[in-house]
């Protein structure tokens, strides 16, 4: 009988850059006219941000299943994020969430991160947990509640300055549960007023990202329900207000890559929250439900990269309810590396030719050709070149990190979500 160890050996052989897999793939690609060095260069420059809250315990409304070894404080979350970066090579920043990551000395948190080769990325306020926000935060009818909410946003602007971040990433749970409960338009005006104050307080170098979501936790309407709602608010705020696309925040029939393209064309695509879902906002591992969709999104992004200097923040936003959190995060990063790699392999010249010829299936098959390619050896090579792991999950398992933190941290602590 074959043990798990044996299988690990085989996997390593398959993915090793020493073996024939990489040689075969790069040879094949070169024969197809692909500039493999350039593709690898772009893969090495990929940047993904992991979220501090993704390392802690999370769950559904029905249950939170605690896991051993989850971080007990923001410093340990940063440590976990640093480990993911060490294994994958492309995750040099970690998003923080206030108040879950509130510390006495943000300079200390920043220094801790930098000592581990990491920087603090987007600062995410929390305007949905306090009892006062039962009927909304920046959209609440009570000006005192809006004041409190705005003050929290201003606090986050300050925190961003202290941790060295230039991104304020905003998601609002604001909405209503019953028809008639409040005025759509008045709520919108309240939001624009509050955000206008925050926008004015941001230093010139800082950007504000506005995330939209169709429902949950609000079940009748959400104040920023779709990209149009977020975009029109951004238009009122200024150029440094941009839209954030969370892959799980769309009605079931929405073509997300099309939304991405429109936002790129409007110059307002600020960033992503990557995850995946089959039903609602399931927050599963990136690429675990529909990897082809993820590839198609990257096809748009690769095209945009070549035509503009737009900065886009690529962030992961997941909750790992039943699976090991760090392994899940690593898998997401790998899936994003593979999606990007495949998108880079699209034969753009052939695609343009087919489109110009009105060759529907020729154009489609050009994407299929790239998507069908097994890019794992290429991604492994890139990770090795970055000083990370060819097979990050195997390396993580071998490292004993999970066992070590489980012993040190025990049950962890609900520093966050639950």
Residues 225-254 that bind a second copy (CB under 8 A): 225-229, 231-232, 250-254
* Listed ranges 113-121, 162-170, 203-211, 320-328: which one lies at the site for a second copy (CB under 8 A): 320-328
Output 24 or 41, the one with its CB closest to a second copy.
24
**Distance (Å, whole) CA 251 – CA 215:** 9
**Distance (Å, whole) CA 212 – CA 91:** 24
**Distance (Å, whole) CA 12 – CA 380:** 10
Output 115 or 183, the one with its CB closest to a second copy.
183
Site for a second copy in 28-67 (CB under 8 A): 28, 31-33, 58-63, 65-66
Tell the smallest beta-carbon distance from residue 108 to a second copy (Å): 29
Percent helix, strand, coil in the chain, to 5, is 50, 10, 40
Whether the CA torsion 4, 10, 11, 17 is positive or negative: it is positive
* Listed ranges 92-100, 107-115, 284-292, 384-392: which one lies at the site for a second copy (CB under 8 A): 284-292
Site for a second copy in 120-139 (CB under 8 A): 128-129, 131, 133-135
Output 207 or 221, the one with its CB closest to a second copy.
221
Tell the smallest beta-carbon distance from residue 387 to a second copy (Å): 24
The answer to the question of residue 309 lying near a second copy (CB under 8 A) is: no
Contacts of 339 (CB under 8 A, 6+ apart): 287, 291, 294, 295, 297, 298
Contacts of 336 (CB under 8 A, 6+ apart): 46, 48, 274, 286, 287, 294, 314, 316
Q: Sketch the per residue contact string, 158 through 187, with a second copy: x for CB under 8 A, - otherwise.
A: ---------------x--xxxxxxxxxx--
Burial class of 310 by CB neighbour count within 10 A (0 to 12, 13 to 18, 19+): middle
**Distance (Å, whole) CA 74 – CA 87:** 20
* Listed ranges 93-101, 198-206, 348-356, 381-389: which one lies at the site for a second copy (CB under 8 A): 348-356
The DSSP H or E segment spanning 246 is: strand 241-246
Output 7 or 404, the one with its CB closest to a second copy.
7
Out of 341, 351, 378, 389, the only residue in the binding site for a second copy (CB under 8 A) is 351
Tell the smallest beta-carbon distance from residue 232 to a second copy (Å): 6
Number of residues interacting with a second copy: please give it, by CB under 8 A: 119
């Amino acid at each position: 009988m074959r043990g798990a160890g044996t299988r690990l050996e085989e996997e390593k052989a398959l993915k090793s850059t020493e073996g024939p897999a990489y040689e075969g793939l790069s040879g094949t690609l070169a024969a197809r006219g692909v500039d493999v060095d350039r593709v690898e260069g772009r893969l090495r420059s990929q940047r993904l941000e992991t979220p501090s809250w993704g390392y802690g315990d999370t769950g559904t409304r029905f249950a939170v299943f605690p896991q051993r070894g989850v971080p007990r404080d923001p410093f340990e979350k940063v440590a976990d994020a640093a480990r993911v970066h060490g294994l994958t090579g492309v995750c040099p920043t970690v998003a923080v969430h206030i108040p879950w990551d509130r510390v006495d000395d943000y300079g200390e948190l920043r220094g801790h991160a930098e000592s581990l080769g990491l920087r603090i990325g987007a600062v995410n306020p929390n305007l949905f947990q306090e009892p006062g926000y039962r009927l909304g935060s920046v959209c609440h009818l009570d000006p005192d509640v809006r004041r409190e909410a705005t003050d929290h946003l201003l606090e986050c602007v300050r925190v961003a300055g202290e941790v060295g971040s230039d991104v304020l990433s905003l998601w609002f749970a604001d909405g209503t549960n019953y028809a008639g409960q409040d005025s759509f338009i008045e709520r919108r005006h309240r939001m624009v007023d509050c955000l206008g104050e925050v926008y004015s307080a941001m230093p010139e170098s800082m950007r504000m990202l506005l995330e939209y979501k169709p429902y949950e936790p609000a079940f009748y309407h959400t104040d920023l329900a779709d990209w149009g709602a977020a975009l029109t608010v951004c238009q009122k705020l200024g150029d440094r207000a941009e839209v954030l696309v969370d892959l799980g925040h769309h009605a079931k029939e929405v073509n997300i890559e099309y939304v991405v393209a429109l936002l790129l064309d409007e110059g307002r695509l600020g960033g992503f929250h990557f995850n995946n879902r089959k039903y609602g906002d399931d927050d599963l591992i990136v690429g675990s439900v529909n990897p082809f969709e993820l590839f198609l999104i990257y096809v748009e992004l690769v095209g945009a990269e070549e035509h503009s200097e737009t900065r886009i923040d690529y962030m992961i936003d997941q909750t790992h309810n039943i699976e090991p959190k760090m392994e899940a995060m690593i898998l997401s990063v790998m899936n994003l590396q593979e999606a990007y790699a495949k998108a880079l392999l699209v034969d753009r010249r052939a695609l343009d030719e087919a489109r110009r010829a009105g060759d529907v299936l020729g154009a489609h098959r050009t994407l299929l050709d790239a998507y069908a390619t097994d890019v794992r050896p290429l991604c492994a090579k890139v990770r090795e070149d970055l000083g990370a792991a060819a097979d990050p999950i195997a390396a993580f398992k071998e490292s004993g990190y999970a066992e070590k933190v489980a012993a040190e941290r025990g049950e962890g602590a609900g520093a966050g979500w639950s």
